[in-house]
Amino acid sequence: MTILVNVNIQFVDESGKPYAAGLYYFGDPDVDPVANPKAVFSDPDLQIELPNPQVLDARGAFQQPVYRPSSDYSHKLDDVLFNQIFLVSNDSGQAATPSDRIQDNAFDTTILDEMGEAGLILTSLNSPGTQVLHNTNPFIEGTDTDTIIYDTTGTVIVFNASQTLTIIGSTVSNLKPLRITASDLKIFAPGALDAEHSLEINSGQTNLGTDGNLNALEITDLRVRIVSPDNANAFESIDESTKLGVASHPFAFEINATDVIIKNPLGGSGTVAIEVIDGATRISANTNVNAIQVLTGSTTIDTAGALNLTANNNIVMTSDNITLDAGGLLSLLTGGLRINGGSDTMDFFEYGNWTPTWQDESFSDGEGQTYAFNRGSYVRIGKLVLLEGELQITSVGSMVLANDVFLAGLPFPIASGSNQGFGLNVNSASDFSFIVRTSLTLVGSSGNSRCQLAFWELSGGNTILTAAPSITVLNTGSPILGFSGFYFI
């Protein structure tokens, strides 16, 4: 029978220092192995003889496999200074004396402690196992499936290869405060039951618990959740959704793929205090779901639809009536502006240029009239139009000379009836053909964008408005007229 010496054995001193370069002698049984060497081999067929003694490596172990034909050997180990470490006279199975430190046979190898008791037992492959003993009690115990390390009170560490299981425990307070398996890692609180783990990490999930809450922190493939002591979701983050809660309200704050919601703590779970959705923003009061609402193309405070600068009325801003552009221009497109709670509305403001012309009773500019210049400007505030202008005609074209004369082209029609409030005055006039001591004036044409040229003259000591002049007053020279004033529309 060929026996393989356990080459995994390390020979160390009491401090754990290896007997590096030590000399291991194999000899005939019951005699000095140095004086009576017995051959050992490097192959199981016992054909290649090894040097004897064997020189240990830096770990204090054999440098290669060592085979022997039987168990009838003596053994001796000297350190590098030739000091004897131990001597075993025979390892064939008979009892060893306290001075015999190693027992080796076909089934196991035993290293004895100072008292001659088994301190280390290495079992062969026929019956796998390893034991390190301490005062005859197991300290390390190994089998083909488990490796167990003991302390003086109970199990400390268990390694189980077949289940990929590691356990660190204490029989004093908790058998398994730390447990590692193929799928998870668990740390148990001292004194906790097996199901009340403080920390658990498994495939795709991490849980952290407290004494009164199993999952104070939970992390999975899809969710991160922090649970408050009353088991409400203080924080929860799911795929495309994050929620933050308080003790009295599970989700006071929520962000998801489409909106941001801040809920009113006093309004119940369905009351939204602030909500931001794709294309819409809402701020709610306790008694009004949409006190402020911003939508794509519109902004609303309450729902009435008017712009009133008063304490209790509502404000509505939409793309149809109020705009504020990037340049800071505020526009009122419909409605108007009320000041100090009055009933009247200022709903229009505009200024620009206009072109005054002369017309006969056909009210046409297409009769060949020509001008050296004709220009004017205006400002409109609500229903009031302020304007000025001047023009010089150089030819009346085909206008009918007997027709009345009209100044046309006003920027807005004059108000109808008694509301016209026309006050357009002649500031200067030259080259007109009319009677001496007669002055010109302009009279508004109700509902039209023109006014009529008329005479002021003295009659019996009074200034009266007489019949309007005809086109003939324009047909001599190149008359110039300057004017300014106002009218209502």
Contacts of 121 (CB under 8 A, 6+ apart): 108, 109, 110, 129, 130, 131, 133
Dihedral angle sign, alpha carbons of residues 86, 89, 93, 94: negative
- Find the largest Cα–Cα distance for the chain: 173
Confidence of residue 154 (pLDDT cuts 50, 70, 90): low
3-state secondary structure of 474: helix
What is the per-residue pLDDT across 389-434, written as a single tens digit (0 to 9) for each? 999 999 999 999 889 899 999 999 999 876 567 888 888 888 887 6
What pLDDT, in 10s, does the model give residues 341-364? 667 777 788 999 999 999 999 999
3-state helix, strand and coil shares in percent for the chain, rounded to the nearest 5? 0, 50, 50
Q: What pLDDT was estimated at residue 429?
A: 86
| Highest-confidence segment of 73-82, 228-237, 276-285 | 73-82
Rounded mean pLDDT, 227-242: 68
**CA triple 153-155-157, angle to 5 deg:** 135
CA distance 106 to 2: 9
Q: Average the pLDDT over 374-395 and give the result.
A: 95
Tokens representing residue 32 in the block: 């000095």
Q: In Å, what is the CA distance from 16 to each residue of 42, 59, 99, 272?
A: 28, 11, 20, 71
What is the C-alpha separation between 414 and 445, in angstroms, rounded?
7
Q: pLDDT for 312-330, tens place per residue?
A: 334 444 445 666 665 667 6
- Say if pTM beats, i.e. exceeds, 0.75: no
Task: Check if the beta carbon of residue 387 is closer than 8 Å to that of residue 354.
Answer: yes
CA distances from residue 33 to 48, 67, 84 in whole angstroms, order as listed: 20, 17, 12
pLDDT at 449: 94
End-to-end alpha carbon distance in the chain = 130
Based on the number of CB atoms within 10 Å of its own CB, is 389 exposed (0-12), middle (13-18) or buried (19 or more)?
A: buried
Ramachandran region, residue 266 (left: φ > 0; alpha: ψ -120 to 50; beta: rest): alpha
Residue 210 has pLDDT above 70, yes or no: no
What is the mean predicted confidence (pLDDT) over 45-73?
93
* CA distances to 226, 230, 244, 260, 448 from 236, in Å: 6, 15, 6, 14, 71
CATH topology of domain 3-101: Tailspike Protein; Chain (2.170.14)
Beta bridge partners of 244: 235, 253
DSSP for 414-425, written as a single string:
PPPGGG---EEE
pLDDT tens digits, one per residue of 1-54 = 677 887 778 899 888 899 999 999 999 999 999 999 999 999 999 999 999 999
% of the chain exceeding 70 in pLDDT: 58
| DSSP string for residues in 79-91 | -TT--EEEEES--
Q: Which residues of 230-246 are buried (b: 16+ CB within 10 A; e: fewer)?
A: eeeebebbeeeeebbbe
* Residues β-bridged to residue 133: 138
Instruction: Dump the DSSP string for 335-375.
Output: S-B--TT-S--B--EEEEEE--EEE-TT--S-S--EEEEEE
Task: Name the average pLDDT for the chain.
Answer: 74
User: Is the pLDDT score of 202 beyond 80?
Assistant: no
Tokens linked to 483: 């004017």
CA dist 39 and 72 (Å) reads: 12
Of the candidates 74, 93, 84, 91, which has an alpha carbon nearest to the alpha carbon of residue 11? 84
Say if CB 206 and CB 200 are below 8 A apart: yes
Strand partners, 170: 174
Of 304-308, 318-322, 325-329, 461-465, the poorest mean pLDDT is in: 304-308
Cβ atoms within 10 Å, residue 311:
5
pLDDT at 203 over 80: no
Whole-angstrom distance, CA of residue 376 vs CA of residue 22:
122
Distance CA 347, CA 321 (A): 11
The H or E element spanning position 95 is none
Please, is 130 exposed, middle or buried when counting C-beta atoms within 10 Å of its C-beta (0-12, 13-18, 19+)?
Answer: middle
